[in-house]
Each structure stands twice: as structure tokens, then as C-alpha cells.
Amino acid sequence: MRPDYFFYKVDNMGRAAVLGELEHLVLLGVLRLDEDAYGMRIRLEIEERTGRDVSTGAIYTTLDRLERKGLVRSEVGDPTPERGGRARRTFRLTGEGARALTEARQTLARMWSGLSLEGEGA
């Protein structure tokens, strides 16, 4: 275990991790894609649903950070021809990741509660 990860764990013991915006989107992508969640699919999922063209590098660094935080775990699959014989690294949400997502959703709901924007729903 790396020292920075250890201190992160201690600092955040007992509470869900706070998610950045891209982390939030990537975690939702992982949740939505289930067993088929890997870099390319997550990137396309975000692009299709939000219109945001996130770079592969940004997705890779975010997934790496989430894995170090213990919010996702990865496993390496079998090589496929369309990938030039390279293996695929798929990601799954962990219990802690699910807790962080739930916490993020509840936080947003609490903040939105009782608010409305002008013109919304007209």
C-alpha cells in the first residue's frame, strides 16, 4: 500500500469520498456500463450523454485516481483483434464507490431542494 493512499484512507475514514465533477461522471459511466466499463466505452458514454468530449488521457487519469481511492477496481481481460491484440482493462464499482455516488446524489438533492431557476419548467 502506498503511503499517500494510507493517509488518504485515514483522513477519510468513516465518510464517503468527495467527488470531483469528472470523477462523478466517470463513476456514473462505470455504473451504467456495468461489466462493459472500460476506458473507451466510458469516454463514449460520457460524450453521448453529456456532449462533453473528454480526452482519453483525462479518463485514464481519473480512473487511476478513483482506483487509488478505492472507489473502483479493475481487472485485465483477454486480448481482442480490434485492439491490435491488446488486453482490455475493465472497471467495476466498489462498495465505497457506490457510497460516494449515493452521497454525491444526496448532497446535490439537498442543495437543490426548494430551489427553482427562472424559466425552468415553463
Partner 1 sequence: MTRTPPLAGRLLLRLVLPPREVEHVAGDLQEEWITVRIPRLGEVGARYWYLREVVRSAGPVLLYRLGRGEFLPELLLAFTLTLGSYLAVEFFWGLVLSLVPLRAAAPAPGFVMGSIVVAGVVAASSGFFRTRAVLEDGVLAPLLLVAGVPPAAFLSAWIADGSTFVPSAAFGAALSVGTLTGVLVAVYPPRPFTWRARP
Positions in the binding site for partner 1 (CB under 8 A): 4, 38-40, 43-44, 55-58, 60-61, 64-65, 76, 79-80, 82-84, 86-89
CA quadruple 116, 117, 119, 122: dihedral positive or negative? negative
C-alpha cell at 94: 466498489
Taking the least distance from each CB to partner 1, the nearer of 91 and 100 is 91
Taking the least distance from each CB to partner 1, the nearer of 38 and 101 is 38
3-class SS of residue 76: strand
CB of 65 to partner 1, least distance (A): 8
CB of 105 to partner 1, least distance (A): 26
Taking the least distance from each CB to partner 1, the nearer of 40 and 108 is 40
Inter-residue contact 92 to 37 (CB < 8 Å): yes
CA distances (Å), 54 to each of 18, 22, 39, in order?
21, 9, 11
CB of 23 to partner 1, least distance (A): 13
